[in-house]
Amino acid sequence: MKTLIVYAHPEPNSLNGSLKDLAITTLENAGHEVQVSDLYAMNWKAVVESGDYGPAASNPLRVARDSGRAFDSGTLTPDVRAEQAKLLWADTIIFQFPLWWYTMPAILKGWVDRVFTFHFAYGVGEHSATRYGERFGEGTLSGKRALLSVTAGGPESHYSARGINGPIDDLLFPIQHGILFYPGIAVLPPFVLYGSDRIGAEDYPDLAKAWEQRLLTLDSTEPIAFRRQNFGDYEIPSLQLRQGLEPLGRRGFGLHTH
């Protein structure tokens, strides 16, 4: 396995830092190759701006079109090209981050905003009245697998089916489906640690064991069964799920899973 770990936490001596370190040693000891994008250590620039697109940037700036032109002409900035190369190299991508305000920290969102350019992660394949691109199960990153490893401050019940925060699967849907499945990545069920502010040294051995288990079984873990766009489940061109495909009573984000 060739694994890229994208890690976003400002403190190396944090639970997130420990989980990242454990992932590296566990995977390497099992004979896998590992690359790490430690966004804080890299001083990753989080903000999209015209300088990202070099000579391809137009005035006024148009983010989608200009990022696609820079991608096509190989003139994206070296930091972005390096991340795209890591994604193409990897067969497995692990994202390690804390849930801040129910989603990823800004530095990681900025990694997505800058690395997932037009023609690389979106705007891939024919876009016409009868076809709306290769996406949601197809695309540049198809054949790869990803896993979110996240820590959440609140207790698990707050993220349960009736919990006040909303169900964790729904909170992660815009990332797992909207960011990862979109360019073709198969997404494994997430590894979530709740009540992270109350996790002490005495709790760590059990958590570490559970994380190692997940890491050593990535190959055999079934991905989330998101529906693919171009294989008959969606009407064209509305891209609405065809009537009657879902289990009775299923609605919302859950419609888009088999």
Q: Which of residues 46-85 bind a second copy (CB under 8 A)?
A: 46-50, 60-64
Angle, vertex CA 148, rays to CA 142 and CA 152, nearest 5: 160
Residue with token string 């489906």: 177
Q: Which of residues 82-121 bind a second copy (CB under 8 A)?
A: 98, 100-107, 109-110, 112-113, 116
Q: Does 195 bind a second copy (CB under 8 A)?
A: no
Contact partners, residue 122, CB within 8 Å, separation at least 6 = 64, 116, 133, 135, 139, 182, 183
Which of 54, 166, 189, 223 is the binder for a second copy (CB under 8 A)? Answer: 166
Q: Does 255 bind a second copy (CB under 8 A)?
A: yes
Per-residue contact track with a second copy, 4 to 33, x per CB under 8 A? ------xxxxx-------------------
Contact 195, 154 (CB under 8 A): yes
Q: Find, among 43, 19, 68, 39, the residue nearest to 215 by Cα.
A: 19
Residue with token string 């966004």: 39
Binding residues with a second copy: total (CB under 8 A): 65
Which of 22, 75, 119, 163 is the binder for a second copy (CB under 8 A)? Answer: 163
d(CA 146, CA 152): 19
Q: Which residues bind a second copy (CB under 8 A)?
A: 10-14, 40, 46-50, 60-64, 98, 100-107, 109-110, 112-113, 116, 136, 153, 155, 157-158, 160-167, 170-171, 173-174, 177-179, 197, 229, 234, 237-241, 249, 251-256
